[in-house]
Chains A and B, each alone.
Chain A
Amino acid sequence: MTETFETRFKEIFGIKWPKLLESLGQTVYMLGWALLIGAVIGLFLALLLVLCRKGGLKQNRVIYAIVNFYVNIVRSMPFIITLVFVFPLTRLIVGKTYGSTAMLVPLVIYISPYMARLIENSLLEVSPGVIEAAQAMGATTFQIIIRFLLPEALSSIVLAMTTGTVGLLGATAMAGYVGGGGVGDLALTYGYQRYNFPLLILTIVILVIFVQLLQLLGNRISGRLRKHR
C-alpha cells in the first residue's frame, strides 16, 4: 500500500515523497523561527515607536526618528535585495550563506520592521482614555505596557501578526530559492526548471492550504481574545 503510494507519487510529481516532507519541514522551520524572532524584535520596535512618538508616554524625538527611519528604509527594500545585501552579515552570524538557518538572518531583518508597523497600528488603537486612567491610578510606564497597552491590543496584534506571517511565507519561498530549501525551492528548482507542471500545482495547493490554515488560526485566537468586547 505505502509502496504503491510512494511509487505513484514519484510517477506523478517527479520527486520522492520524503523530499516533499523535508521541504515542508524547512519551510516551517524558517517560518517559525523568523516569525518568533521577528515578532519579538517587531514588538520591541513598535513599543519604541508608540512610546516615543509625539504625545507618547516617553516622548523622544531622536529615538522615534531613528526607529521610524530604520523601519521605513528596510520596508522599502524588496526582500530579494535585502537577502543578497545582508550576505556578509549572514556569514558573520551563521558562518555560511546557504541553508535554512542562514536564511533566518535576512528573513528576520525583513519581517521585523514589517511586524513593527503592524503592531504599532494595533497599539495605537488602544483608547487613549484607558491609558490616561492607568496614569491617573499611578501606574508606572512598565505597568501601563504590561497591564493595559498589551492586553488591550493583544487581539488586534494577533491579527496583525497573522498578516505578517503570510507575508513572511512569501519571503521564505524566495529565501529557499537562494539556498534555504523549503516548498518554494521545491516549486522553482524541481517544478519550474524541470517543466514539472504537476509538482508546481502541488506546491501551490500546499501553500494555499497553508495560508488558509494560518489565517483561520489567527482569526480564531484573535476572536477568542476579543470574546467579551
Chain B
Amino acid sequence: MIRIDHAVKTFDGGTQAVHALRDVSLHVEKGDIYGIVGFSGAGKSTLLRLVNGLETPDSGSVVVAGEDLSKLSHRELLTLRRKIGMVFQQFNLLEGKTVRHNVSIPLQLAGVPKKEIEQRVREVLRFVELEDKENAYVSQLSGGQKQRVGIARALATSPDILLCDEATSALDPQTTESILLLLKKVNREMGVTILLITHQMQVIQMICNKVAVMEYGKIAEEGSVLSVFGTPREEVTRRFVRTVINDQIPEKFLSVVRSETRNQQVELLKFIGDSVKEPLIANLCRMEGLEVNILGATIQEMQGSVMSVFILQLIGDDEKIRLAEEKIDGAGALRERMAVGA
C-alpha cells in the first residue's frame, strides 16, 4: 500500500543542514495499523508527509497505492491526496465554522454534488458518533470531539489510507483511548490502512500491529508490535518500551538485591501469549538449593495477546542458576540477565 525506499531528506536549517531522513525505507501493507514512534526531531513528521507529497524526498522513491509519487503531475497528485486522509495533532479545523461545513469541505473540493455531500456528511458523523453535533460550531466542542470531526473530515472522501500526525498527543488519557478505539474501528470496519506517528508508546501498544522506532532520521528498529516489545534490540527501543512496560528492578528492592551476600543472578523474563505451557515459576521454586524472589511483575495486553514480564532474583550456586536458566529457556520464555550494579 505504501512503499518508501531509501528516502533521504535534508532541510536547509540556516547555519547547518538538518538531516530529517537518512536513507529510510518503510513498507506498509494493506490493512496495517503501522505506528512510527520516536522522540521529537527524529524525522517521523517528515516521513509521514512523504506519503501524501506534502514533502518530497531529495532522493529515494515513494510509491503509494501503486503510484510513484515522483512520476505524478501536480493534478494527479491532488487527485491522489483525496484518497489519503490526514488527521492532525492540533486538529486544523475551521474553528469558526460548523461541524457540517468542516466535514463537507473535502467533498466540495472534489466537486461532489450537494445532495450526496449532505448524505455522506451524515454518514461519517454517525460513524464518529457526532451526528447530534452537525450544526454545532467547532469552537464549542471539546478536544476529543474536535478530533472526531478531524477524523470525520479525513474519512469523508472514503480514503484508502489515513495518516495520523500525533492525533492523540493533545488529548487527555481517557480521550486518547476513545480516539484510538475509533481509529481501530476505522481500520476494521472501513478497511482503511493507517499510518500514524506518535511519541506515546501506549498508542502503539493499543492499536498498532506493526511498529518502527525512529531516531536521528533513521529507522532504528521495526517489526510486529509483539516482537519489538518482546525483544527490543536497540537502546532507543528499550527506552520506549520501558515507558509502558516496566522492566526495571524497583528502587526499593535494589538495595536489598545489592546487599545480598550469597551468589545470585537477577533475570528478566517475558512470556508472550500462551507460549509457556508449564507452571514455570512454581517449578523453579521447587528446585533444590535455589531461592526464587519475584522482584517485579506486570501484564500488558497488546495485539489481542498478553505479555507478562517477571523480574526474578535467583539465589544459589552458579550450577543451580545455570540449571534454572536452562529450565526457563526450555519452557519458551524470553530471558535476559540483568546487571544489578554495585
- A residues contacting B by CB (< 8 A) are 127, 129-130, 132-133, 135-140, 143, 147-148, 151-152, 155, 225-229
Contact = CB atoms under 8 A, between A and B. Distances in A.
B94 A137 contact: no
Nearest to A139: B109
29 contacts: A127-B90, A127-B92, A129-B92, A132-B54, A132-B92, A135-B81, A136-B52, A136-B163, A137-B82, A137-B109, A137-B157, A138-B78, A138-B79, A138-B80, A138-B82, A138-B106, A138-B110, A139-B78, A140-B78, A151-B94, A151-B97, A152-B96, A155-B96, A227-B96, A228-B95, A228-B96, A228-B137, A228-B138, A228-B140
A148 B97 CA distance: 11
Given A137-B106, A138-B81, A152-B96, 9 more contacts: A127-B92, A133-B88, A133-B93, A136-B86, A136-B163, A139-B78, A148-B94, A228-B95, A228-B96
A130 B94 contact: yes
Contacts of B88: 129, 132-133
B54 A147 contact: no
B97 A228 contact: yes
B233 to A, nearest CB: 34
Interface in B139-178: 139-140, 157, 163
Contacts of B93: 130, 133
A136 B81 contact: yes
Instruction: Determine the main DSSP class of A at the interface with B.
Output: helix
A57 to B, nearest CB: 12
Nearest to B83: A138
A130 B94 CA distance: 7
Nearest to A144: B109
Contacts of A147: 105, 108-109
Nearest to A129: B92
Interface of B: 52, 54, 77-82, 84, 86, 88, 90, 92-97, 105-106, 108-110, 137-140, 157, 163
A225 B94 CA distance: 13
A143 B157 CA distance: 17
A123 to B, nearest CB: 15
Contacts of B140: 228
A229 B95 contact: yes
A135 to B, nearest CB: 6
Contacts of A227: 96
B96 A130 contact: no
Nearest to A226: B96
Contact of B92 (A133, A138, A226): A133
Contact of B54 (A135, A140, A155, A225): A135
B229 to A, nearest CB: 31
Contacts of B97: 151, 228
Nearest to A152: B94
A143 B92 CA distance: 17
Nearest to A225: B96
Nearest to B140: A228
A229 B95 CA distance: 6
Contacts of B105: 137, 147
Contacts of A226: 96
Contacts of B108: 147
A132 B77 CA distance: 15
A130 B86 CA distance: 12
Contacts of A155: 96
Contacts of A130: 92-94
Contacts of B77: 138
Contacts of A225: 96
Nearest to A143: B109
Contacts of A140: 78
Nearest to A133: B92
Contacts of B80: 138
Contacts of A148: 94
Nearest to A127: B92
Contacts of B96: 152, 155, 225-229
Contacts of B109: 137-139, 143, 147
Nearest to A148: B94
A126 to B, nearest CB: 10
A216 B16 CA distance: 50
Given A147-B105, A228-B137, A136 B84 contact: yes
Contacts of A136: 52, 54, 81, 84, 86, 163
Nearest to A228: B137
A61 to B, nearest CB: 14
- Among A137, A151, A227, the one with the most B-chain Cβ atoms within 10 Å of its Cβ is A137
* Nearest 5 CB-CB pairings of A with B: A138-B81, A133-B92, A129-B92, A228-B137, A136-B86
A226 B137 CA distance: 12
A148 B105 CA distance: 10
A79 to B, nearest CB: 36
Nearest to B107: A137
Contacts of A143: 109
Nearest to A229: B96
B266 to A, nearest CB: 48
